[in-house]
Amino acid sequence: MISSTFALLLCLFGAANAHFRLLYPLPRGNFVADLEPNFCGGYTEVTTNRTTFPLSGGFFSISTGHPGWTAGVLISTVENPNNFDNFSVNGVQQLAKPFARDEGAGTFCIPLNLTEAGIPGVQDGANVTIQVLFEGGDGNLYQCADLTLSAALTSPPADITCSNASATTSSSSPTATTSTGAALDLSHEASGFAVVLSFAGVIAAVL
Ligand SMILES: [Cu+2]
């Protein structure tokens, strides 16, 4: 009994410790591990400190302790998206970045070309919100960032670091860095699809 309780505590602690953080663009609020399974990581309302973000040529950066994860990015063109429905049009999720998988833990910088998906309303000057969906083995996790899109900005500011660092000495390479929708191999697409389905299940449960 004691050992199983201890194991459960260890598991909970480990899970809360791992999860993932959105490093850039800045998320809506401070990281709260327990709230990360919720919409926008627990931050329902839009913020006033929007990040001016390049319409094309952008990237996002995350860190995680989970060795093996899948992530994708949804976008909402609603002024104040405060529920999962705001990231869908006619019941279809607006994917700004297809799901991709990586087998390593650490810090990752992943290209995010927002014009690529051809989503209406994703244009110069638009106020949009991205929601990063992440699954690293302990359930679906979410972080949101409120943005103002800029066509004049062709890359994030130079002081924003875009680098990849493996948290372990294993040889697992951060493949997500060079992944594009077209470059993903079949296994990436298959796992991404599975995650889309499970996210859809969660969304259905929330609504
Ligand atoms: Cu976790």
Ligand 1 centroid to residue 107 C-alpha, Å: 15
Ligand 1 centroid to residue 89 C-alpha, Å: 29
Q: pLDDT at residue 187 above 60?
A: no
Ligand 1 centroid to residue 185 C-alpha, Å: 25
- 8-state DSSP, 188: H
ipTM of the complex: 0.98
Ligand 1 centroid to residue 124 C-alpha, Å: 35
Residues 69-124: pLDDT tens digits?
A: 999 999 999 999 999 999 999 999 999 999 999 999 999 999 999 999 899 999 99
Ligand 1 centroid to residue 131 C-alpha, Å: 17
Ligand 1 centroid to residue 6 C-alpha, Å: 18
Rounded distance between C-alpha atoms, residue 55 and residue 67, angstroms = 31
Neighbouring C-alpha atoms within 13 Å toward the C-beta of 76: 21
163: confidence class by pLDDT, cuts 50, 70, 90: confident
Ligand 1 centroid to residue 120 C-alpha, Å: 33
Establish whether the linkage from the previous residue to 25 is cis, with ω within 30° of 0: yes
As residues whose CB is below 5 A from the ion ligand 1, the structure lists 15, 18-19, 138
Q: How far is CA 92 from CA 50, 73, 85, 184, in A?
A: 25, 14, 9, 21
Ligand 1 centroid to residue 123 C-alpha, Å: 34
pLDDT at 17: 57
Work out the mean pLDDT of the chain and round it to a whole number.
Answer: 80
Query: Residues 31-60: what's their mean pLDDT?
Result: 97
Ligand 1 centroid to residue 11 C-alpha, Å: 10
123 sits in the region (left: phi over 0; alpha: psi -120 to 50; else beta) called beta
pLDDT at 168: 59
Rounded distance between C-alpha atoms, residue 14 and residue 30, angstroms = 19
pLDDT at 11: 44
Residues 16-34: pLDDT tens digits?
A: 457 999 999 999 999 999 9
Ligand 1 centroid to residue 44 C-alpha, Å: 20
Which one has a higher pLDDT value, 201 or 138?
138
